[in-house]
Structures are given as C-alpha cells and as structure tokens.
Amino acid sequence: MPGSGHSRPGQGRNVNYFNYFTEIEDAFIRRRGKHLLLSPIDWALIEGWQKMGVPLHVAIRGIETVFDNFEANPRPRAIKSLMFCREEVEARFQEWLASQAGRSVEAGSEEARPGFTIEAIREHIERAASALDNVKAEGLREACERAAARLRILAGEVTTDFETVDKALNDIEEFLDNAMLSDRDNVHLKKVEGEVKAQLSSYKKEMAKEAYENTFRLMLLKRLREEAGIPRLGLFYL
C-alpha cells in the first residue's frame, strides 16, 4: 500500500483504516532496512490489532522495541515478518490498557472522536448501503438487502453518541460476516478456505491455536468480502 498522503503517528486519535495499515507497514519496512512487502498473514495481524483496539502509537512502539532489542543482540535469522513483533505489541497493548484505567472520556462526546461529524458518518453509512445494493453474489442478496435497509434506518438516526453508532455498525457487519460464511456456494467456500490455509501453513506451528483460528477467520472474511464487494462498516473505516 502506498505510504504517501497520511498523517504521522501522534497527530490525533482519529486514525483511519488506511493510515493505520500504512503507518505500521512504513515503520516495519523502515526498521527492516529493505523494502520487504508484508505477507497476507501480516495484513491479517494488523487487522487483528485494529479489531482489538490497539492504538497506532502502541503498535509502532512495540515494533521499534523489537528491532532495538534485535540490533542490541543480533541473531542469525533476520526479522522477515511482522509476526516476529506480535508478542511485544500485544504485551504493550495490555500495559496501555492498564494505564488507561480511570481515564476514559465520557462516551458519546464529540471530543472523544475528533474529526467525526454526524454528516460524515451519515455519508459513510449511505455509501456502504449503496455498495451493498450493488452486490451481485446470489447467495448474499437477501442478507445485503436486509443490511442496507438497516443502514439506511441508522443513517437517519445518527447522533453524537458515536460509540452506540459504531456498535450498531459492527452488529450489521457481523450479520454480513455470518452470511458470507453460511449463505455462499459451499464448494467455493471450501476452495477459498483451502487457499487461506495454504497461505498460513508455514506460520501455523509458530502460532497459538486461538491466534491461528482468529487469523484464519480474518483472512477468509477479507477474501470473501473483497470478492463480493462488501464494504467495511465500522467508524474506523470512515
């Protein structure tokens, strides 16, 4: 993904989907010292961090720490995958969560989500509903029609309680995820599952069972979503 036209870490809490991925990619490639494209499992890992709510600055600080430690104590094998940084990033995230206890901003205030406006959110929801109108996959038509109808109702009810709006969007997205995993051609689904498993095969032994299953699901849904033209809905993708 290109690295131009996005904000640098620390320029605010409202980091969009594109910025989150490209900033992490830039940080890893910069420290790696060579232009090394991220693998599908690396992208799934970043998406997993995003879903967990790992702040961008926490992810980048974890990556920096891994490379700092590696350079202080070089090993024969180079760092070739973002997976090498997973444990450090997620440990730092747990530390960050503990540090935030008692510091939460009042839910629903506009100050909690700088850059979010009712108009921008309504436009985001309406674009998503229009995209669902154009989904052609036969097995997903009914689900997409129902989701688009729910989105249009939500667009008319948007308030500054952004946490509630985001939860409603995530609920609709989960409904679509379940439809993709159950309503599509089973033969095609098995084919895509096999391709995703093949992509993950070289990493499986290094991953805990839960991490593998979560990464597999993220990658599978990403493939199915891209094939069908189903958009992401949460406010993170605004």
pTM recorded for the entire structure: 0.62
- Could you report the per-residue pLDDT of 185-218, keeping only the tens digit for each? 788 889 999 998 998 887 777 777 777 787 888 8
Domain boundaries along the sequence of the chain: 17-99, 110-237
Orientation angle between helical segments 141-155 and 118-133, nearest 10 degrees = 160
- Could you report the per-residue pLDDT of 75-116, keeping only the tens digit for each? 777 788 888 898 899 888 888 877 765 554 444 444 444 457
CA dist 151 and 55 (Å) reads: 27
CA dist 43 and 33 (Å) reads: 19
Q: Are 93 and 63 in contact (CB under 8 A)?
A: no
pLDDT-based confidence at 123, cuts 50/70/90?
A: very high
